[in-house]
Amino acid sequence: MYGEAVALGAGTVLNALATGVGSAFAIDAETTARVELDDSGTVEGAIAGAPDGDTRLIRRCVERVVDRFGDGQGGHVRTESDVPMAAGLKSSSAAANATVLATLSALDVSVGDDAELDREAACRIGVAAARDAGVTVTGAFDDASASMLGGVTVTDNAADDLLAREAVDWDALVWTPPARAFSADADVARCERVAPMADLVAELALDGRYGEAMTVNGLAFSAALGFPTDPAVEAMPHADGVSLSGTGPSVVAVGDRDGLERVRDYWNQREGDTWLTTTRTDGARVIE
């Protein structure tokens, strides 16, 4: 019983750690999960390129899907990803979504608008697994829904409610410094202090003013989480929006390509990886 699926990384419009309301947009960076189920009863996991990586999340995704749709199967899940881990680009949501879809496929459970399960419901299985594994603060339904559905989403993570979704076609520039920042380690109390700014960002996002929204988000959460704002200030004259992504350290700018190429000249002078990409509107998909 074999299943394979792909899900997307994402950037941040609004970090949900202040109020529980969040917003994210899918980018063209993929995580693939390959799941083989058997009658062993236990689930093993592996992460390509990270032999010591924490596989609790993906193992929990398999277990939750088998508990609901299977018959006591065990097996093995392996992920392979373009999304840097713990860098603010929703690697956890991409891994969870890909693993859930691959396990559903291995069990021949169809996923889609007119199928047994729609993709939003499948996404919630991964959110539950992320809470079980302790890799999230709020459940990150904003991250997970953007990764699964594509486009930009606005969510209330306290209720795992999808407040808005829009297919957006943006060019984006990503700077990922060498450091890593796990969401579970973020200073939530400090984030809660910027709640008035988060409320403003939510209003802007729900009004479709995503560029302004993410820029305010970036200034507020860079201050709350102790990240430099220089990369954002460098980008602002040339981008429609720029923000710290997730709980950092990556910074993402969106806008027209010429402007982003100007920003790339600045960010290339910084340690780390700077890469041009685009948003994705198709979301996650089953391969086999």
Ligand X SMILES: O=C(O)C1=C[C@@H](O)[C@@H](O)[C@H](O)C1
Ligand Y SMILES: Nc1ncnc2c1ncn2[C@@H]1O[C@H](COP(=O)(O)OP(=O)(O)OP(=O)(O)O)[C@@H](O)[C@H]1O
What are the residues binding ligand Y (CB under 6 A)? 31, 47, 54, 57-58, 79, 81, 85-92, 95, 135, 140, 143, 182-184, 246-247
Give the footprint of ligand X on residues 239-258 (CB under 6 A).
246-247
**What is the per-residue burial (b if ≥16 Cβ within 10 Å, else e) of 98-126?**
bbbbbbbbbbebebeeeeebebbebbbbb
Binding region for ligand X (CB under 6 A) out of 133-141, 192-200, 254-262, 276-284? 133-141
Residue nearest to ligand Y (CB): 246
Q: Is 160 in the site for ligand X (CB under 6 A)?
A: no
107 is in an annotated binding site: no
Give the C-alpha distances (Å, rounded to integers) separating 18 from 9, 195, 197, 259. 22, 5, 9, 31
Round to whole Å and give the CA distance between 11 and 250: 9
Partner in contact with 79, chosen from ligand Y, ligand X, none, beta carbon below 5 to 8 Å by kind: ligand Y
Residue pair 22/155 in contact by the 8 Å Cβ criterion: yes
Instruction: Provide CB contacts within 8 A for 288, sequence distance 6+.
Output: 2, 3, 4, 105
**Shortest distance, position 23 Cβ to ligand Y, whole Å:** 12
By beta-carbon proximity to ligand Y, the closer residue of 86 and 238 is 86
Q: Give residue 85's Cα distance to chain centre.
A: 11
By beta-carbon proximity to ligand X, the closer residue of 22 and 177 is 22
184 is in an annotated binding site: no
93 is in an annotated binding site: yes
Q: Do the strands 21-38 and 74-81 form a parallel or antiparallel pair, or are they unpaired? A: antiparallel
Residues flagged as binding site for ATP:
84-94
Residues lying near ligand X in the complex (CB under 6 A) are found at 12, 15-17, 22, 90, 136-138, 140, 142-143, 183, 246-247
